[in-house]
Amino acid sequence: MENMGNVLMQKYEFGKMLGQGNFAKVYHGRDLKSGQSIAIKVIDKEKVLKVGLIDQTKREISVMKMIKHPNVIQLYEVMATKTKIYFAMEYAKGGELFEKVSKGRLKEDIARKYFQQLILAVDFCHSRGVYHRDLKPENLLLDEFGDLKVTDFGLSAHDSCTRVDGLFHTTCGTPAYVAPEVISRRGYDGGKSDIWSCGVILFVLFTGHLPFNDSNIIQMYRKISRADYKCPNWVPPEVRRLLKKILDPNPLTRISMKKIMENSWFKKGLDTKQREMSMSASADADRDISVKRDIVPVLAPIPVPTTPEVVHSCFWQEPKKLDFTKVSSFNAFDIISLSTGFDLSGLFVGNDEKEEVKFTCRKTASDIISKFDEIAMSLKMEVGMKKGGQIKLRKPSEGRNGELTIEVEIFEITSSFHLVEVTKSCGDALEFRKMLKEEIKPSLEEIVCAWHGELP
């Protein structure tokens, strides 16, 4: 273990960094008293306070203390200083399941074992009223014995958080793994949406790739909403039938956890001892009534490494335009919300009725601005102020419906990956479409990854 010369609270020694995200880093650590390897998640308190995620952090702590199961990463202790929050957690030596499946499909027995352990863990969480809401191979770890461990409850929720209709309404998760009802923003059952994610994971275990995948996020959403996927020939018939029941776009008819565990393929080779351990964990959890739900009092600062983050999938309710002096981050759900809407009617508007088009681009914001400056110059258009991620292109000569004005808005997904929206704000629609087709789009081809809502 790489020794960084830092000891936390005179209890845990820091080692090498294992992973990072936007708000935390995870380190390998050692319990000085027992010598046991642990994982130490270090959260930057200032960052989570700044973006309003302190309640989410508290909820993650509360949930992890409620879930005591052999297939869930255990939270041992939570500590805090004025600037950092520390999670001392179970260490999974085998790393992410994602690393295994990224190398290709797994053998049936291995895939079934992981799926069995996943279902037992998720079913236990549901029995405690907890819904993970971000199940994916990156959030499934393996211990030194090759057993699966569910982790990262940052987006989880308790059933007490549902609205009066008994449903959740927060759009969260990872798009390729979320159920269609989550993206629709009409309210969803946390249990049924977790089951869908388990089905996507089962597909990935057997095939090594996602069932719903497309460079165009809107097209991917269409595939998810219709459960439009193709199962390779090597997937056993029993698994295909089970997948069809799990990846049912209608949550009301989607298979339940109970039915999954009664499935003959699922039960094959199931470790009865493990099942008993799962049931025993449930009984132990019922007896545990001393769950601490708040972060411990802030302690004096100590010399620990400066730290950001473990992989957190945070989804904002409202998208924000890019400000070139202060960058705002985006995620795929925000991209979808920038489309013509979740009622799906906008996705099928005829091309001749549209007055906007979007594209994704693997260039920096400044590169995109420079490209539109070039286009404006070639078209003899005036370039307006660039503010809040918006560029205005104006054609001085008036057409039959007044002067043509085009607005270009840039939305940041990462520093080098953007969504760009080109819209006619004033002027003649036919002139706009003609200019877009003959002049603007050809000039943009060298920087465009994919068009969304493409015009003719």
Annotated binding site for ATP: 41
Residues serving a catalytic function are 134
Are 14 and 8 in contact by the 8 Å Cβ rule? The answer is yes
Sheet holding 148-150, edge to edge: 95-96, 140-142, 148-150
Distant-in-sequence, close-in-space partners of 216: CB < 8 Å, separation ≥ 6 = 450, 451, 452
Q: What letter represents residue 440's amino acid?
A: I
User: How many Å apart are CA 246 and CA 337, to the nearest integer?
Assistant: 26
Q: Residue 86: count other Cβ atoms within 10 Å of its Cβ.
A: 25
Distant-in-sequence, close-in-space partners of 196: CB < 8 Å, separation ≥ 6 = 178, 179, 180, 246, 247, 251, 254
| Bridge partner residues of 13 (DSSP) | 7, 30
3-state secondary structure the chain: CCCCCCEECCCEEEEEEEEEECCEEEEEEEECCCCCEEEEEEEEHHHHHHCCCHHHHHHHHHHHHHCCCCCECCEEEEEECCCEEEEEEECCCCEEHHHHHCCCCCCHHHHHHHHHHHHHHHHHHHHCCEECCCCCHHHEEECCCCCEEECCCCCCEEHHHCCCCCCECCCCCCHHHCCHHHHCCCCECHHHHHHHHHHHHHHHHHHCCCCCCCCCHHHHHHHHHHCCCCCCCCCCHHHHHHHHHHCCCCCCCCCCHHHHHHCHHHHCCCCHHHHHHHHHHHHHHHHCCCCCCCCCCCCCCCCCCCCCECCCCCCCCCCCCCECCECCCCCHHHHHHCCCCCCCHHHHCCHHHCCEEEEEECCCHHHHHHHHHHHHHHCCCEECCCECCEEEEEEEEEEECEEEEEEEEEEEEECCEEEEEEEEEECCHHHHHHHHHHHHHHHHCCCEEEEECCCC
Annotated binding site: 41
- Pairing relation of β-strands 24-31 and 157-158? unpaired
